[in-house]
Amino acid sequence: MKQSLLAFFFTFLITPYLNAQTIQPFKTGDRVVFTGNSITDGGHYHSYIWLYYLTHFPNKRIQIFNAGIGGDVAQQMYERLDSDVFAKKPTVVTLTFGMNDTGYQLLKGAKADSVYQAKIATSLKSFKLIEAKLKQYPKVRKVMIGSSPYDESSKTKFIRLVNKNAAMRQIAAEQQRVTKNNNWEYMDFGAPMTAINLREQQRDSLFTLQGSDRIHPTNDAQMVMAWLFLKAQGLAGKKIANIAVNAGTKKIELAENCTITNPVISTDKISFTYLANALPYPMDTIPSGFGRPQKAQAAALKLIPFNEEFNQELLQIKGLKAKQLQLKIDGKGIGIYSAGEYAQGINLAKINTTPQYQQAMAVMHLNEERWAIERRLREYYWIHYSILKPKGLLFNDGDATVDSLQKYGKKDFFVSATIPTYQKARFKSVRDAWQKEIDLLTNQLYIINKPVRHRFEITLVN
């Protein structure tokens, strides 16, 4: 009974956030700046979103920027809006906050509630300043994002802060209210991710999307966030391609989002030239991340129906007489399938050996390289906005600053870990070179992401 009630709660909680389009899709030329704290700063969700646009809309050039700073609260985000967000000349700005704003106190009961209410009030006071600043840019689209949750329900041994997530939800509710008043756009990570946590914890009480600290989403969770964002943009159901061939009538019955030429069709042999308008969405299967390797991006497929909703490259062939037929693409064997499997339809996007998937993998790896270089720049800005600005040393990169940071790093692990990057990035010529690398990689991404023609052959197995 308990499990069925939790399953019902999951369905009840998550459905309102998944069925309605609340954000307009990005359009050609958009410059999208994702503003947030460490979840944005060190996270992948914005990069995974861009990868979807790179593969599914290869001719719709956009650019996505990371404007996260680890540890930030709303006031700090407000203070860097001009220099770190609008300096990037965005057409779209997203904003998520609340994790740090609500604090990390161990208090319980009425005293904890009192502290949370005070912190919420402080955060929302800063949010009013942000709202006023955003209104100064009427041509820029604003997307408010309810923060990913703090996981209080996992049975992991890491210390649990009681009612922290409820306090974060109060901030998200105010974001939503301000969104409505200003005719901005809103989507939420918090409620649906909490629902997924509760669902999975029925099977594994230690499960969490928020990693070992209950805060920072793992790589697969960042993919869940990308899925939620793309669903909020109303993009679910858009196919990479959909091919339907009738071997009996020798006709191409459907060629959705692709072009089929030079078809040769019989009941035991079919060939045609295929040019899709999109590429499959590739998934990284290698665990990676800071410290202990996190789950791979592809682990998200166990949690969400991403392939079913966003990654469909369908090949359907009806009327085949042979029991087993081999699929080759550009002369390379892809698989052997029965006539029944062909009739039901094969999702080629799930087969990582196809030439088009391999092309998409190159796009993925190049996008990851771009992300990694951008992360170096974000580490530089983290040092400045989080450590040096409070000391009156914002963008002071002199030798004395380096000496001060090295001393400070002896008592702060995060500063110590970031100093090697800072020592390079403090030189403008180095930062400029990194930015040129990012620009070069972005240009290359929009060259290698263009689909090419492939020759399909479906023949009898000897």
- Within this chain, do residues 373 and 251 fall inside the same structural domain, yes or no? no
Q: Is residue 300 part of a domain?
A: yes
- Within this chain, do residues 251 and 366 fall inside the same structural domain, yes or no? no
Q: Is residue 283 part of a domain?
A: no
- Within this chain, do residues 344 and 439 fall inside the same structural domain, yes or no? no
> Each residue of 35-52: pLDDT tens digit?
999 999 999 999 999 999
Q: Is residue 287 part of a domain?
A: no
Q: Is residue 114 part of a domain?
A: yes
- Within this chain, do residues 384 and 315 fall inside the same structural domain, yes or no? no
Q: Is residue 202 part of a domain?
A: yes
Residue 293's pLDDT band (boundaries 50, 70, 90)? Answer: low
> Each residue of 241-267: pLDDT tens digit?
999 999 999 999 999 999 999 999 998
Q: Is residue 7 part of a domain?
A: yes
Res. 388: pLDDT tops 60? yes
**Percentage of the chain modeled with pLDDT above 90:** 89
CB atoms within 10 A of CB 134: 21
Q: Is residue 223 part of a domain?
A: yes
- Within this chain, do residues 45 and 130 fall inside the same structural domain, yes or no? yes
- Within this chain, do residues 73 and 213 fall inside the same structural domain, yes or no? yes
- Within this chain, do residues 28 and 168 fall inside the same structural domain, yes or no? yes
For residue 207, the enclosing domain spans: 2-232
- Within this chain, do residues 94 and 23 fall inside the same structural domain, yes or no? yes
SS3 for the chain is: CHHHHHHHHHHHHHHHHHCCCCCCCCCCCCEEEEEECHHHHCCCHHHHHHHHHHHHCCCCCCEEEEEECCCCCHHHHHHCHHHHHHHHCCCEEEECCCCCCCCCCCCCHHHHHHHHHHHHHHHHHHHHHHHHHHHCCCCCEEEEEECCCCCCCCCCCCCCCCCHHHHHHHHHHHHHHHHHHHCCEEEECHHHHHHHHHHHHCCCCCCCCCCCCCCCCCHHHHHHHHHHHHHHCCCCCCCCEEEEEECCCCEEEEEECEEEEEEEECCCEEEEEEEECCCCCCCCCCCCCCCCCCCCHHHHHHCCCHHHHHCCEEEEEECCCCCEEEEEECCEEEEEEEHHHHHHCEEHHHCCCCHHHHHHHHHHHHHHHHHHHHHHHHHHHHHHHHHHHHHCCCCCCCHHHHHHHHHHHCCCHHHHHHHHHHHHHCCHHHHHHHHHHHHHHHHHHHHHCCCCCEEEEEEECC
Q: Is residue 286 part of a domain?
A: no
Mean pLDDT of 175-201: 97
> Each residue of 331-348: pLDDT tens digit?
999 999 999 999 999 999
- Within this chain, do residues 301 and 253 fall inside the same structural domain, yes or no? yes
Q: Report how many domains make up the chain.
A: 3
Which residues, in sequence order, are bridge partners of residue 317? 245
Tell me the whole-structure pTM to 2 decimals.
Answer: 0.94
Mean pLDDT of 300-311: 97
Residue 15's pLDDT band (boundaries 50, 70, 90)? Answer: low
Mean pLDDT of 140-144: 98
Res 322: pLDDT? 81
> Each residue of 59-116: pLDDT tens digit?
999 999 999 999 999 999 999 999 999 999 999 999 999 999 999 988 888 888 999 9
Res 23: pLDDT? 96
Q: What CATH number is attached to the domain comprising 70?
A: 3.40.50.1110
Res 11: pLDDT? 52
Mean pLDDT of 133-144: 98
- Which of 197, 232, 267 terminates a domain? The answer is 232
- Within this chain, do residues 403 and 274 fall inside the same structural domain, yes or no? no
- Within this chain, do residues 29 and 111 fall inside the same structural domain, yes or no? yes
**Percentage of the chain modeled with pLDDT above 70:** 95
- Within this chain, do residues 223 and 98 fall inside the same structural domain, yes or no? yes
Res 7: pLDDT? 45
